[in-house]
Each structure stands twice: as C-alpha cells, then as structure tokens.
Amino acid sequence: MLAQWRARLQFLVLSLEREARTLRSELMTGTVSELTRERLERLAAAHEDHAQRLTQLLAPLGLGAAAAAYETHLALRTRLPSDQGLTNYYVNLHRDWVWGDAENEASLALIRSTASGHAHWGSTLVLGAGSGRLAYDLHMQCAPQLTVAADFNPLLLFVARDVTRGAKLELYEFPIAPRRLADHVLLRTLAAPQPVRPGFHIVAADALRAPFTTAAFDTVVTPWLVDILSEHFAQFAAQVNALLRSGGCWINFGSLSFAQGARAQRLSFEETLAIVTQAGFGEPAVGEQSIPYMCSPASRHARMETVVAWCAQKEGAAALVSREGPTPEWLVMSDRPVPQLEDFKVQAIATRIYAYLMALIDGRRSIQEIARMLVEQRLMAQEDAEPAVRRFLTRMYDDSRRSGS
Ligand SMILES: C[S@@+](CC[C@H](N)C(=O)[O-])C[C@H]1O[C@@H](n2cnc3c(N)ncnc32)[C@H](O)[C@@H]1O
C-alpha cells in the first residue's frame, strides 16, 4: 500500500509540475491581457509551490525511492481507482480546518441528536476519518476516553496529525468556481481551534481490514464512508459489529449513494437499514437533515446534502458474511502467473489497436490515409473507417484542450 501511495504522490507531483509548465507556456504566447497574465502567473507559481509543499508534507513516504515517467504512470493507471487518489478529498482539508464552523457544527449536532441515547462513548473508533475534524470534535465534545481516527490516505492523515497537535499548516485551495481573480488560488492556513486533549490517536489503516482486536471499541463512527467502499455493505456491517463490544454503538453519518458496479449493491435507504439490523444490531435511531456541504467562502459553487445519521446498538454477533471476491492470489503473490482473464484479453486487443492508431499519427498522414491503413489491416470496414478516425481524433483533440496539455 505504501508503494501505491508513493506512486500516486509521484504522479501527482509530475502532474502539478506539468500543469505549471502548461500555464507558463500559455503566458509565453504574448496574446493574453494583463489580468489574464496575472491569473496565470499566480496559478503557475501556486502549482509549483503546491508540489513542493505536498512533497515536504509527504516526505515520510520516501518519494525518492520511486522514479517513473508521467506516461508510465498513465499507462500503469497509477491514478486508479480514481475515487481513492491522494487528493480526492483534498477539499475536505479546507472544510475541516479553514472555512469556519458552520458545516462541522451541523454535522456534529446531527450526530449528537441521533446518538442522544448513547451515553458511554468510551473507546471510540472513527473509520475513514479523513483529515480528522469530526473525530477531533467528538473527542473534544463527547468525552470518549480514547479516540482512534483511522484512514488510509497519508495526505489526510499527516494533516490531521499536525493540525490536531496544534500546528498551523499552509496549503493551497483551488476553488471549483472562484468568485474573483484572487480566488482562483488561495494559500490557506489550516488550524484547529486548540490542540487536541490527550487520548486522541491517528492510525493509518484499511477500514476493510481494521487492525484492532475483536470487541475493542464502545463506539464505531463511520462518517461519509459506507457508500464509497468497494466491499459489500453487509460484509462491512459484520466487520463493524466485530469491532464493537456487546452494547456498543455504531454511529453512521453522511450520504447513502452507493454506486457499486453490481446493481443489487446500489442500496436504498430501506435496504441499508435492514442490513444493519440483520448484522446483529437493534433497531437504529435515525436522523435526517439537509446541511451545507463543501461551501468554500471563495467559491460560487456550494452544495446542500440531505444526510442520514443512525445510531445502532450491538445486540449480538453478526452472522459471518463471506467476503465477495477476495483479492486473488496472483495479485498478492508477486511470483504467480497473471491469468489471461476474458476482460484482460479484450483490453489487450483494444490497447494494441489504440497504440497502432496513435503510431500512425506522424505529422504527415491525413485522416484519409490513416483510415486507409486501418482498412488494409482489416481493422475496419471501408465505409466506417474515415468517420471513425475523425471521431477518434476529435475526441483526442478535445481531451488535449480540456487537460491543457
Ligand atoms: C468521503 S471521504 C470522508 C472523509 C471524512 N470522514 C469526512 O467526512 O470528511 C471518505 C474517506 O474514507 C477514506 N477511505 C476510503 N476507503 C478507505 C479504506 N478502505 N480504509 C480506510 N479509509 C478509507 C478516504 O481516504 C476518505 O478520507
């Protein structure tokens, strides 16, 4: 996992440096207005500095140990799964430690009212704690003896560690829809209201294989987590059950927009609650409320989310749910042969055609000539080839303009 995060960091740094170069090359065209120049210069400088700040913050990952070209990372899909990149939840850092209290207080208030019957927070585990604000607020305001904030994203964890200890961290914010020119990039100071009290621990861990003994906790909190996990919800509910002592509570909070590949796993509110009770929990207390979500003061873009909270008490052990699709041996053991799965074969052919097509672009051939070669290679029928090549190149061209490369 460390190697994967390191590769993602390297790809991120290369992407930021590349973006800075693209911004600077647009500046060189000489046709931009003074205001545009100011914006592009600010952004270019910020991207360079941002890359350095992230490299420094994530130095314990040992960036120097990995070296590969930007294109290699693209080919190896370092970015994927795209929903769990290093900076996917980057904006949460600013929501947690910069933008003020409205969102964080609304979250805590809904959790507290839903869990009002839960008197003993005891040892509390927050799974998928991100950069830690909710875990910090719970520790400071609900008086657990011990709070463990666990996540697997090192960027979020390092920020959580530094800020909760009382450090002030400077990191850039890039708002989605900046209000003014100066809002296109802002160097923000991340800080906690005060250093966290003793008993607060940050642990790098996979929530699906949480490294704690059975029944170690009185409370398990899962904020904005259950619907983004790759594991089936029933399997995860059984794992939460195992982490709790009898009588302990599972407090969930956030969205329920399951987007798994299997349609049967795109659970509704009702199916989700039914699975909670089937996993050894009593009837949960449920709260629902519309709260502001990711409302940067520098952005015109903001969301309202109707979030769900539940507090479910453990009544007994969960029945064992077999793990869907455990990681195959050849993925874990580096010396096992990689099987030619049907999907892999199709991908391999598609990639070869793609590489062939790209190799035909040599700065001299026209669409007509490229189409003729595809027909000669029997990759396409005569009448389809030319429109297909045009469509393909249009898409490539549009993509290149969108990504600014
Ligand atoms: C939608 S974010 C929510 C973060 C935080 N709870 C909040 O409300 O801001 C989901 C979080 O779960 C973490 N996460 C996702 N899958 C995980 C896993 N298998 N193990 C540990 N953390 C995970 C991500 O790194 C991210 O911090």
Whose structure tokens read 């585990």?
125
Lookup: tokens for 153: 């994203």
Q: Is the previous residue joined to 81 through a cis bond, with omega within 30 degrees of 0? A: yes
Q: Which residue out of 209, 225, 303, 307 has the highest number of ligand 1 atoms within 8 Å of its CB and is therefore the one to mutate?
A: 225
Contact 312/276 with Cβ under 8 angstroms?
yes
User: How many CA within 13 A on the CB side of residue 172?
Assistant: 22
pLDDT of 208-254, one tens digit each? 989 999 999 999 999 999 999 988 999 999 999 999 999 999 999 99
Q: Which residue out of 82, 224, 232 has the highest number of ligand 1 atoms within 8 Å of its CB and is therefore the one to mutate?
A: 224
pLDDT tier at 323 (50, 70, 90 boundaries)?
Answer: low
C-beta 288 within 6 A of ligand 1: no
* Per-residue pLDDT, 217: 98
**Residue 190: beta bridge partners?**
169
* Per-residue pLDDT, 73: 62
Global pTM reads 0.83
> What is the rounded distance in angstroms from the CA atom of residue 398 to the CA atom of residue 353?
20
Cα 356 to ligand 1 centroid, rounded to whole Å: 40
**Whether residue 77 has pLDDT greater than 80:** no
pLDDT tier at 75 (50, 70, 90 boundaries)?
Answer: low
Cα 225 to ligand 1 centroid, rounded to whole Å: 6
Residue 9 — left, alpha, or beta (φ > 0 → left; ψ -120 to 50 → alpha)? alpha
Contact 371/389 with Cβ under 8 angstroms?
yes
Q: Do β-strands 169-173 and 186-190 pair in parallel, antiparallel, or remain unpaired?
A: antiparallel
Task: Please state the separation of Cα 378 from the chain's center in Å.
Answer: 42
C-beta 135 within 6 A of ligand 1: no
C-beta 153 within 6 A of ligand 1: yes
Cα 227 to ligand 1 centroid, rounded to whole Å: 10
| % of the chain beyond a pLDDT of 90 | 69
Minimum-distance ligand 1 atom for the alpha carbon of 153: 25
Atom 16 in ligand 1: residue holding the nearest Cα: 229
Of 313 and 399, the structure prediction assigns the larger pLDDT to 313
Cα-trace Rg, the chain = 25
Lookup: tokens for 49: 């500095």
> What is the rounded distance in angstroms from the CA atom of residue 91 to the CA atom of residue 174?
8
* Per-residue pLDDT, 83: 56
Range with lowest mean pLDDT among 107-121, 187-201, 259-273: 259-273
pLDDT of 18-44, one tens digit each? 999 999 999 998 789 999 999 999 999
* Per-residue pLDDT, 111: 97
H/E/C letters for each residue in the chain? CHHHHHHHHHHHHHHHHHHHHHHHHHHHCCCCCHHHHHHHHHHHHHHHHHHHHHHHHCHHHCHHHCCCCHHHHHHCCCCCCHHHCCCCCHHHHHHHHCCCCHHHHHHHHHHHHHCCCCCCCCEEEEECCCCCHHHHHHHHHCCCCEEEEEECCHHHHHHHHHHHCCCCEEEEECCCCECCHHHCCEEEEECCCCCCCCCEEEEECCHHHCCCCCCCEEEEEEECCHHHCCCCHHHHHHHHHHHEEEEEEEEEEECCCCCCCCHHHCCCHHHHHHHHHHCCECCCEEEEEEEEECCCCCECCCEEEEEEEEEEEECCCCCCCCCCCCCCHHHHCCCCCCCCCHHHHHHHHHHHHHHHHHHHCCCCCCHHHHHHHHHHCCCCCHHHHHHHHHHHHHHHHHHHHHCCC
Pick from 315, 297, 101, 61: nearest CA to 186: 297
Cα 314 to ligand 1 centroid, rounded to whole Å: 23
C-beta 12 within 6 A of ligand 1: no
* Per-residue pLDDT, 405: 45
**Residue 125: beta bridge partners?**
148, 220
**Whether residue 119 has pLDDT greater than 70:** yes
Cα end-to-end distance, the chain, whole Å: 30
Pick from 124, 140, 123: nearest CA to 223: 124
C-beta 253 within 6 A of ligand 1: no
